[in-house]
Every structure is written in C-alpha cells, then in structure tokens.
Amino acid sequence: MCIFAIIMGVKIGNIDVGEFPLLLAPMEDVSDPPFRALCKQNGADVMYTEFISSEGLIRHADRSTMKLDIYDFERPIGIQIFGYNIESMRQATEICAAAKPEFIDINFGCPVKKVAKKGAGAGILLDIPKMVAMTKEIVNATNLPVTVKTRLGWDENTKYIVDVAERLQDVGIQALSIHGRTRKQMYKGDADWTLIGDVKNNPRMHIPIFGNGDINTPEKVAMVKDRYGVDGVMIGRASIGYPWIFNEIKHYLKTGEHLAPPTIADRVIACKQHLKHSIEWKGQILGIAEMKRHYTNYFKGIPHFKDYRIKMVTSDSPEEVHALLDKVAVEFAEFNF
C-alpha cells in the first residue's frame, strides 16, 4: 500500500499533486500570475491565487474578478476566497468554479485586522460552528475539490485544530493547510509544528495535511517531513524575491546536497521576466507601479544597492528599469551570495 501511495503521489480529490508537493502560499499583492509563473518555472507544484473577497466577487468588483485569471501553465491551481457571510461565500464559490480552477480554497487563516474583525479569515476561528457550516455550504456548492487554509487557533487558549480538522474533513474538504501560529501571533515567534503533526498523525484523518510556517531552508523541509509526516509544505514569505527555493528544496530532498544559489545574472533575468509579465497582465502603469515592491527582494543582501533601488522605484519607464538592471548585472557580477 505504501509503495502504491508513493507511485501515485499525494492527491487533492482526484488531482495528483506529486509525491511531496511544494505549495506556493496565497499572498495578497504577491502571488499574482506574474509571480506564480516564476515559482512554477522554478519547481512549485501547486499554485494559489491571491485571496479574493467573496463580497467583491458577487458585486463584480474589477479588483476581485481580475484575480480569477488563471493560465494553463500554472495548473494545478486553487482559487482562494474569504468572507464572513455564508451565502456570499456560496455564490462566490459558483463564480470561482466557472473560472475552472482545479480546486476551491477557503481562507480561514488571514490574521489582518480589517479581515479578522469582520469574522472572515482567521476571525472565524472565534466561531467554529460557523466555520464548519460555511465549509459545508461551499463543499455542497461545487463539484470541485474544496480545501482549507487555517491556523492553530485564535490564541494560545483556543488551539482546537485537531478537532477542527476532523470536523472540516467530515463535511467534505479534500485537503487542509495549517499555518503553525495562532491569529494573535500574526507572524511573530516561531511556528509550532507539533500540532500540525498531531493533525497529520490523527488516525481519523485521511486527507492530505500540508504544513506552513517558517519554511525557509531545504533543511527545515527535510526536518518537518521526517519529524511530523506532513504530506507537503506550503511556502510563503521565503519565496518572495526568491522563487528558486522550490527547486533548491527538491534537489536537497533528493540528493542531500545544495544547489548553487542564483547568481546576479539569474536574479536580473528573473526580475526582468517578472516586470514583463506584470506589465502584460496589468498594463504598463499598474504593472510598473506594483512591481516596485519586488525590486529589493530580488537583490536582498547585496551591499550598496540602495541607489539602484531608489532609481528603480522612482522610474515609470520599463526601458529605464531594464537599463538599471543591466548595470546591476555588470557592477555586482562577482558578488557571491
């Protein structure tokens, strides 16, 4: 049976996502199609859209409906939705299904105050019965597999994730991603993988369990895989400006050795590709404006990069940015990471 499972890989519903899939976390203002393209190219197995407001979708808000754009090269992909109203979430599920993703993902983990205070995202962790009822309605609203991303609990005193996981599985979800922090922690402190392991090793659980939180090195992935038995890991902040992390992890798990880090030339190529796709998807004005948050991330650790960063973020010309990137490639060609 174990041999068969290894051959077939992990499945979300009937979708094979690999033997030990690496998932790109849904991140607002980050995991858009241009960024997802780079992560897929560099080894990510499963994509998620940025999280999308159910209220925005049912009101056909441009910012929400634009996030439904998905492309064949990035499959399998899940569209992630969030909201506090069960009927709005049900309707949003139907809208998302029409965009033909591989699955629908529910965000029960976003800790941001403006989301959580309305009872959406991690805010629903204060009302577990509603969380379960909402999930059941979404599962019933689509033939696509439904997955959930959540946290351990609202705070230190409400870490009910083992029970919550069972209840969500009982109403039909096909996979669960768990961030190893509470909502109160936000992104502070160390992620606690012990409870993620408890969910995975609960004999009642039969759906894939993916772990998330502080996954920033291949060694960390190898450790949580071996120690907690998770079916895969979800990578968020460590991929920002560093999409190479996915292939680096895969290589390390396979060989026990590290790939050479990307060179300055590699980083310049990736940055240019990201800018190109950003402009193609969003138009020149918005594409350049939203790319400005990424420049520093691609060249993190390079000394005396500030002058280039200032010139890039103040430029509205793709030609000028390309010229600056070419200068970066030459000036820092010998820099070793």
Q: Which residues are catalytic?
A: 110
Q: Whole-angstrom Cα distance, residue 176 to residue 253?
A: 23
Q: Whole-angstrom Cα distance, residue 205 to residue 114?
A: 33
Find all residues with CB under 8 Å of 114, minimum gap 6, and list them.
none
Phi/psi for 289 (5° steps) reads: -60, -45
Can you give the chain as a three-state secondary structure string?
A: CHHHHHHHCCEECCEECCCCCEEECCCCCCCCHHHHHHHHHCCCCEEECCCEEHHHHHCCCHHHHHCCCCCHHHCCEEEEEECCCHHHHHHHHHHHHHCCCCEEEEEECCCCHHHHCCCCHHHHHHCHHHHHHHHHHHHHCCCCCEEEEEECCCCCCCCCHHHHHHHHHHCCCCEEEEECCCCCCCCCCCCCCHHHHHHHCCCCCCCCEEEECCCCCHHHHHHHHHHHCCCEEEECHHHCCCCCHHHHHHHHHHHCCCCCCCCHHHHHHHHHHHHHHHHHHHCHHHHHHHHCCCHHHHCCCCCCCHHHHHHHHCCCCHHHHHHHHHHHHHHCCCCCC
